[in-house]
Structure 1
Amino acid sequence: MVRPFAEILHGGPVDVGEVQRVREILIFERQQFAPKLIKFACLLVLAACIATFGLLGDSVAVIIGAMIVAPLMLPIMGLAFSIGIGDRQSMINTLLVSLTGIAMAVTVGFVLTLPIAGVIHPEAIQQIMVRTSPHLLDLMAALATGLAGAFAIARKDVSDTLPGVAIAISLVLPWRMWGFCWR
């Protein structure tokens, strides 16, 4: 008997219990909304602080650390999952959480840099400049990284690779920049 491709990727049958397990990880639903949102907001604010200071300090290592802490991948993957299962309410919830998270991160960065706005010149900071000009290869790397994250969440035995997924996407731009330096 030939196993369906989804079963091979998942490592076993994809039943209602497995869909519910992934749903509980990715979707911000009423039962767990407040605790999940508090955890999300705290980690996001801390990650935005780390990222801001990493960018200002022109430090790739600190920026990578911020990306490992940042929880934005969760609602974005939740949005993809919601679209996949056709759940309109979950699509709206995860989209709103994603957009709110992005707005929070931008606000934290803005507030942290406001006092030093006249002293810092962003165009002189290499890590800022390299992250403001993505290319098609960056999009392709981001898509592959998203698939790796989805694969890791879908399989119980691969979830320990999620930090590696965050590191992979954070290194896309610096490695591209490094390659240009050698040309």
Structure 2
Amino acid sequence: MSIFSHATHVRHQTEKRLAQYAQPSVSYFLLIGLASAISTIGLLMNNVSVIIGAMVVAPLITPIFGFSLGVLVLQVDRIVRSFFMLLSGSALAITVSFFLSWVIQQLENEPLGVGTEILTRAEPHYLLFLVALFSGAAGAYAYSKKEIAASIAGIAISVSVIPPLSVTGIGMALLSSDLIYNSLSLFFFNLIGIAFGSVLMFIALGFGKEV
């Protein structure tokens, strides 16, 4: 088997693997909703262990890899489907966080406390972009290798996609434009970093070449 034909075979296997996890489904939206709820509670408690648990549950990182691969091989249907999943999943995460934060605020009858974990997810920084970039490359490589696909959970933890969206919801409940703007900025930093890193890795694996 030539190098190009091997790369094409691996690409097709990766596409199938991504397709299993990149379809709009009840499970996808349920997991994102639960992850957002867990993340929001962890942020309000200022408890990093709870926040990490939310990162493991959330499947939001997968559509980013599907989008990157679709752009690389010019598959419009994959691009549109992945973009829809990413957009709808992000909107759901923010909505759940906002609603939960609002309810908690009403129950406690006082403004929510803003701890260090919330503030950390509202501080865009170029080093965090680099983390997302390398995580995107690692995630793309993991999806291309069936035997190490389980590493995706660790990669999701390292890049932290859900918590910034949860902070956006908390910011909406607090009517804090700074929290909303900065957390969304961090989310887009992560999003662009993951996408760019995964595209570079897919290119390195030869996915853009055809026999």
TM-score band, normalised by the shorter chain? 0.7 to 0.9
Aligned equivalents of 1:40 and 1:53: distance in 2? 20
**Alignment partner of 1:119 is 2:107:** no
Aligned pairs for 1:37-56 (under 5 A) are: 37-56=25-44
The CA deviation string for residues 49-73 of structure 1, in whole angstroms up to 9 with x for no partner, is 1101111111111111101110001
CA RMSD of aligned residues (A): 2.5
Structure 1: which 4+ aligned runs deviate by more than 4 Å?
none
1:28, distance to aligned residue in structure 2 (A): 7.3
Q: 2:130 corresponds to which letter in structure 1?
A: M
Where in structure 1 are there 5+ consecutive unaligned residues? 174-183
Q: Secondary structure at the match of 2:13?
A: helix
Report the counterpart of residue 118 of structure 2 in structure 1.
128
1:42, distance to aligned residue in structure 2 (A): 1.3
Aligned equivalents of 1:78 and 1:119: distance in 2? 42
Identity of aligned residues (%): 31
Contact 2:66–2:82 (CA under 8 A) maintained in structure 1: yes
1:152, distance to aligned residue in structure 2 (A): 0.4
Report the counterpart of residue 138 of structure 1 in structure 2.
128
Q: 1:121 corresponds to which letter in structure 2?
A: L
Q: Secondary structure at the match of 2:25?
A: helix
1:120, distance to aligned residue in structure 2 (A): 3.6
Q: 1:119 corresponds to which letter in structure 2?
A: E
Contact 1:55–1:127 (CA under 8 A) maintained in structure 2: yes
State the number of aligned residues.
157
**Alignment partner of 1:20 is 2:12:** yes
Report the counterpart of residue 82 of structure 2 in structure 1.
94
1:115, distance to aligned residue in structure 2 (A): 1.8
Aligned equivalents of 2:59 and 2:150: distance in 1? 15
Aligned equivalents of 1:46 and 1:167: distance in 2? 16
Contact 2:44–2:112 (CA under 8 A) maintained in structure 1: no
Where in structure 2 are there 5+ consecutive unaligned residues? 164-211
TM (norm. structure 2) is 0.67
Q: Which has the higher contact order (CA 8 A, sep 6+)?
A: 2
